């Protein structure tokens, strides 16, 4: 068996053609986990060949809209895919306690009349409502989900003033995959990713945004400078570094190479992938 990591979205809150909102799909055998659910996540999941009803759980990193705005689409598309003859278990949503929990629990509320009309019309046996499972974010890794041979731990990361915000580590028999979520470069992710086979990390080229943003310092403070991230990946000894949530969004190969050069300048000499949507790595 193998473990596959697929970037379902490499984008940010700012619209960019071809880049869906943030998301990562991790598969080990029949176990299928999605991390974050931004714009067009559901479309990208379908483009991987996944049936939405085969998704085992969704884990959410934090409540910023770019990571959650696709949730209603995922829940209702999964429900419609199941069709009236199939019993549908609620999708487990693993989410840190706080605003993200409330958003997950209420995301279908504006759609109640529409859901009721479809149910009456077609006779669905189930509802699209999720199984929201919140947990207290902590500064040391805590197991938040276990499915067959796959364990998922969460740890608080540094995205203040957005709290809680967490990163995740997925451990399978094939190895470990760490997903940073949105964060400044921090000790928490460094410890979590020590020896990881794959680190999926957000990347922010501080050097490239100074002229683009009215207040680049505010954004730089809660995102990960690419040079500093190269240092983290080197110290942690990660096998493959996948850069996503790319700021500024690369549009050419030269733009992508600029991310890699900064990672190298930070000290990391391993494999770097500047992600496009649907890029996949197998370990």
| Nearest residue (CB) to Zn ion, 3 versus 206 | 206
| Nearest residue (CB) to Zn ion, 36 versus 197 | 36
**How far from the centroid of its chain's Cα atoms is residue 56's Cα?**
15
What does each C-alpha distance from 107 to 21, 68, 159 come to in angstroms? 17, 9, 23
Output the smallest distance, CB 61 to Zn ion, in A.
8
**Omega before residue 248 within 30° of 0, cis:** yes
Q: Does the protein bind Zn ion through residue 66 (CB under 5 A)?
A: yes
Please state, in angstroms and rounded to a whole number, the distance separating the CA atoms of residues 23 and 2: 20
Q: Which stretch binds Zn ion (CB under 5 A): 59-67, 167-175, 188-196, 258-266?
A: 59-67
Output the smallest distance, CB 221 to Zn ion, in A.
12
> Left if phi > 0, otherwise alpha if psi is -120 to 50, otherwise beta: which for 18?
left
57-59 and 271-274 as β-strands: parallel, antiparallel, unpaired?
unpaired
Output the smallest distance, CB 65 to Zn ion, in A.
8
Q: Which stretch binds Zn ion (CB under 5 A): 50-58, 65-73, 96-104, 114-122?
A: 65-73
Please state, in angstroms and rounded to a whole number, the distance separating the CA atoms of residues 217 and 206: 9
**66 tagged catalytic:** yes
Output the smallest distance, CB 179 to Zn ion, in A.
12
Please state, in angstroms and rounded to a whole number, the distance separating the CA atoms of residues 186 and 229: 9
| Nearest residue (CB) to Zn ion, 27 versus 245 | 245
Output the smallest distance, CB 14 to Zn ion, in A.
10
Please state, in angstroms and rounded to a whole number, the distance separating the CA atoms of residues 177 and 153: 11
Q: Find residue 247's DSSP bridge partners.
A: 204
Binding mask 171-200 for Zn ion (x = CB under 5 A): -----------x------------------
Site for Zn ion in 9-38 (CB under 5 A): none
Q: Which stretch binds Zn ion (CB under 5 A): 56-64, 74-82, 124-132, 149-157?
A: 56-64
| Nearest residue (CB) to Zn ion, 66 versus 277 | 66
Please state, in angstroms and rounded to a whole number, the distance separating the CA atoms of residues 245 and 243: 7
| Nearest residue (CB) to Zn ion, 182 versus 197 | 182
**Omega before residue 71 within 30° of 0, cis:** no
Pick the catalytic residue from 66, 182, 197, 225: 66
Q: Which two tokens stand for residue 180?
A: 């940073």
Output the smallest distance, CB 223 to Zn ion, in A.
8
Task: List the one residue out of 224, 263, 266 whose CA is nearest residue 240.
Answer: 263
For residues 36 and 61, the answer to whether their CB atoms sit within 8 Å is yes
Q: Does the protein bind Zn ion through residue 64 (CB under 5 A)?
A: yes
Please state, in angstroms and rounded to a whole number, the distance separating the CA atoms of residues 100 and 188: 21
Q: How many residues bind Zn ion (CB under 5 A)?
A: 3
For residues 66 and 35, the answer to whether their CB atoms sit within 8 Å is no
Q: Which stretch binds Zn ion (CB under 5 A): 63-71, 122-130, 149-157, 268-276?
A: 63-71
Q: Does the protein bind Zn ion through residue 225 (CB under 5 A)?
A: no
| Nearest residue (CB) to Zn ion, 219 versus 265 | 219
Q: For binding to Zn ion (CB under 5 A), which residues are involved?
A: 64, 66, 182
Q: What is the set of active-site residues?
A: 66
């Amino acid at each position: 068996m193998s473990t596959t990591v697929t970037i379902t979205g490499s984008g940010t809150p700012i619209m960019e053609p071809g880049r869906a909102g943030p998301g990562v799909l991790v598969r080990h055998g029949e176990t299928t986990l999605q991390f974050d659910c931004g714009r067009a996540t559901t479309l990208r999941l379908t483009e991987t060949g996944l049936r939405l009803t085969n998704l085992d759980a969704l884990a959410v990193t934090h409540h910023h809209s770019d990571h959650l705005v696709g949730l209603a689409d995922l829940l209702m598309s999964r429900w419609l895919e199941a069709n009236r003859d199939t019993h549908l278990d609620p999708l487990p949503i693993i989410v840190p306690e706080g605003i993200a929990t409330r958003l997950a629990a209420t995301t279908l509320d504006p759609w109640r009349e529409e859901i009721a009309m479809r149910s009456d019309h077609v006779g669905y046996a189930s509802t699209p409502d999720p199984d929201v499972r919140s947990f207290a974010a902590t500064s040391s890794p805590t197991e938040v989900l276990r499915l067959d041979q796959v364990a998922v731990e969460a740890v608080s990361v540094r995205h203040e003033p957005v709290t809680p915000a967490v990163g995740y580590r997925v451990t399978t028999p094939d190895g470990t995959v760490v997903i940073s979520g949105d964060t400044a470069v921090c000790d928490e992710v460094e410890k979590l990713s020590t020896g990881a086979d794959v680190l999926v990390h957000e990347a922010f080229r501080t050097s490239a945004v100074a002229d683009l943003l009215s207040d680049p310092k505010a954004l730089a403070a809660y995102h990960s400078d690419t040079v500093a991230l190269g240092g983290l990946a080197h110290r942690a000894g990660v096998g493959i570094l996948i850069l996503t949530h790319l700021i500024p969004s690369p549009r050419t190969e030269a733009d992508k190479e600029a991310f890699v050069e900064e990672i190298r300048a930070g000290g990391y000499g391993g494999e770097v992938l500047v992600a496009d949507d649907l890029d996949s790595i197998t370990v």
